[in-house]
Amino acid sequence: MANPLRVAPLLGLGLARAVTSRARGNAASAAETLRRQIRDRATLQPSADDGVPHGAGEISRLSREECMRLLRTRHIGRFAYVARADTPDVVPVNYTLDGKDRILVRSGPGPKLLAAQRHARVAFEVDQIDEPARQGWSVVVTGQAETATSKDNARMSQQIRPWAAGPRHHIIRITPYRVEGRRLN
């Protein structure tokens, strides 16, 4: 923001003070909004004024250990990556976990494999939703993708059984750097 003392001769002292005062007011309003959002996210509890109907479930955060346990209970997840021209893509995939909490996905040639070959940052999501009961859980892993070596490919290929037909001779390995989950009860 321009120094009001330097702007004053150009705009007139009264206008410069008004601009400065308005900027301070905008900053204070933005800071209060940010504090409220941080407080709301930290609690993850519905409040009386958030528009959620009474009797709605409570959201709770899951520990990393619980997230990893839940990931081991499923075999289908969604792989999110940036395809060509900065376009995000999300696709369902079969997966398993190795002994080091890395996610393994079989892949054929195409944009998923290209993302792994360039060591892209990716996201992986798994959930279980019970719509009639309005409850469930979701785990999101953010990490770096890479392709497994040929030696690892042969060993890991036996661990993942793809549902879709077609050549899937490559293994994409996602090494997590953030694992987050939530449960709605």
pLDDT digit string, tens, across residues 33-74: 777 777 776 665 444 444 545 456 889 999 999 999 999 999
Contact by Cβ (8 Å): 97, 115: no
Q: What share of the chain in percent tops pLDDT 90?
A: 44
CA 172/CA 112 separation, integer angstroms: 8
Cβ neighbours of residue 62 closer than 8 Å, sequence gap 6 or more: 70, 137, 139, 180, 181, 182, 183
Per-residue pLDDT, averaged over 72-99, amounts to 90
Q: How confident is the model at residue 124 (pLDDT cuts 50, 70, 90)?
A: very high
Most confident of 142-146, 148-152, 154-158: 142-146
Residue among 174, 10, 17, 172 nearest 101 (CA) = 174
Per-residue pLDDT, averaged over 118-145, amounts to 95
Per-residue pLDDT, averaged over 20-33, amounts to 77
Cβ neighbours of residue 148 closer than 8 Å, sequence gap 6 or more: 104, 156, 170, 171, 172, 173
CA 132/CA 119 separation, integer angstroms: 40
Q: Which fold has domain 59-184?
A: Pnp Oxidase; Chain A (2.30.110)
What are the extents of the domains in the chain? 4-43, 59-184
Taking each helix axis from N to C end, the angle separating 4-11 and 13-43, rounded to the nearest 10 degrees, works out to 130
Q: How confident is the model at residue 87 (pLDDT cuts 50, 70, 90)?
A: confident
Q: How far apart are the first and last CA of the chain?
A: 47
Cβ neighbours of residue 112 closer than 8 Å, sequence gap 6 or more: 79, 81, 91, 93, 105, 172
Cβ neighbours of residue 137 closer than 8 Å, sequence gap 6 or more: 62, 70, 127, 128, 181, 182, 183, 184
Q: Does residue 9 have a pLDDT over 50?
A: yes
Identity of the residue numbered 72: R
Q: Does residue 152 have a pLDDT over 60?
A: yes
Predicted local distance difference test score (pLDDT) of residue 126? 97
Tokens of 140: 């999101």
Predicted local distance difference test score (pLDDT) of residue 48? 47
Q: What share of the chain in percent tops pLDDT 70?
A: 70
